[in-house]
Chain A
């Protein structure tokens, strides 16, 4: 174990977790540089770096790196990190590696909110659409909590209720799609599969603001989260306000997932895969929030770069990429867990 102390704040961390975190950070930086430098337009390494931090290098570098590649890469990293943390909290709270906000109706609710907003405002402003998505995600989460509340929250019931809410939300989305004209429906569909194409600095600002507010709250309760994994009684004995901490963490997880959906559209499976892989790599004793965030960012950035490097006829949004890779992983998880291990 290793302790980090910054003033009154202290984080005790597993040595291997710490090393893995550093390595992941390095990988993420390398990938970020790759994302900024490599692309169809050939812009030199130094020019790319300068343009990315806002130093003018003249056309076309200013636009291509400064307004296209940099916001896209940063949005991808932030959203990946948000999804990773959101999934890690949910999996820890439910003690179930299969839990993920994309399957319990939060992303679906955000999708409904966004498509409804696109329909009502004719899709003029991405900013308005994003606000609609946030409202939809929060509404779904609220409904889920109300419907599954029976003298407290049982995680598994929450998951099942969420799946039901997800179907209701998808029905509402499908209905809205049938009411739009075909061009609007096409762009709504493109948003619904999750895409980082066309990210602007506004997207980066929204994602960064949400993370800046929620991350400190989450880290403040990280010890409670880890302790609750040992059982409610143990946590209570160690002085944790179990119900309060659980409620705060659950709300943070929902808000992160809804905000991520608001920014890029529902991108599946990152919230599922990143925390599970993080636990596996760190071989830590429990939930590992920071590695999950870093891994989420790394995975989404890799997927996004891969989707850009595909030949033109196969350039699908990153959401399709993550689903095609992530869904078999989830099926494998379920298949393996049915061999007698825990679900």
Chain B
């Protein structure tokens, strides 16, 4: 318990440092003192403080939101499907949200307010399909099988997305920037609307985590403990959908955060799901911010979208995870 609390504290400190980096580093480096003043004693006449307030704060909030949401969604999926390779990006849930957003762009339903519900619908449909396949049967989805199901679903959804884009140049222009997973595409007001949704979903995840832990031990065990297996699963899928869709709507499809972070967290805090969710959430937020900062400085003067950085790093982590697994576990 004390060790876990300590690890959670360390994760929190790492996140705070990452937030600091995200506020200070960019095309124009701003010293920590100015960042401090911009937030706590704002002076509108200072251009550097304006940069921090107008650009970097909203960007950082989106990063924290998306990172925490994706990492927690990944941890929940892994527990629900009893499969270490579950990740909302890998399993096509983010792709479902993307397709829905592209359709709304094509239909000319502009505006963030209309896109978010669409993203929820798309993500929800994808989540149900992938769960139905991944968690079927007593063996509960071998990693390879679930990963392939996710890739198949993502390929299908991406093909349909491409079909829509091929007939609509204007949407393509918006899409190709958004799909790279950028934290800069949304205004602060848009994101504020997502904050309560994500917070409620995270709270629900923590509340249901003990029940989910019991279900993961086996349906019979859970029933013997008086837990409703079906209700727990439905709640978890709804929470995963809310988290993945919010993250996708805010930052574009970001992949692998939900895979890599819970893995690392599990190695640190063990199997206790509530702690796993807390540490994953903090770590995911920190990872996305760090990836975003890397993307800002690696190829000046342009920036690399955070989705590209995470897919690059995450894809390699995924391959190395596969390398480390024993043959029987595959």
Contact = CB atoms under 8 A, between A and B. Distances in A.
Interface in A300-343: 313, 316-317, 319-320, 323-324, 327-328, 330-331, 334-335, 337-340, 343
A98 B144 CA distance: 9
A228 interface: no
A317 B142 CA distance: 34
Contacts of B160: 320, 324
B159 A159 contact: no
A157 interface: yes
Contacts of B320: 147
Contacts of A269: 155
Contact of A178 (B134, B147, B149, B177): B177
**Which of A102, A171, A177, A335 has the largest count of B CB atoms less than 10 A from its CB?**
A171
B323 A161 contact: yes
B311 A334 contact: no
Interface string A167-179: 1111110110111
Contacts of B173: 182
Given A147-B319, A167-B318, 12 more contacts: A103-B152, A164-B322, A167-B90, A168-B311, A169-B315, A174-B176, A174-B180, A182-B172, A324-B159, A330-B149, A337-B145, A343-B144
Contacts of A334: 133, 145-146, 148-149, 152
Interface of A: 96, 98, 102-103, 144, 147-148, 150, 154, 156-157, 159-161, 163-172, 174-175, 177-179, 182, 185-186, 189-190, 192-193, 268-269, 313, 316-317, 319-320, 323-324, 327-328, 330-331, 334-335, 337-340, 343
A316 to B, nearest CB: 5
B162 A164 contact: no
Contact of A327 (B132, B152, B179, B325): B152
Contacts of B311: 167-168, 170-171, 174
Contact of B162 (A154, A174, A192): A192
A157 B322 contact: yes
Contact of A147 (B179, B312, B323): B323
Interface string B302-328: 101101110110111111111101010
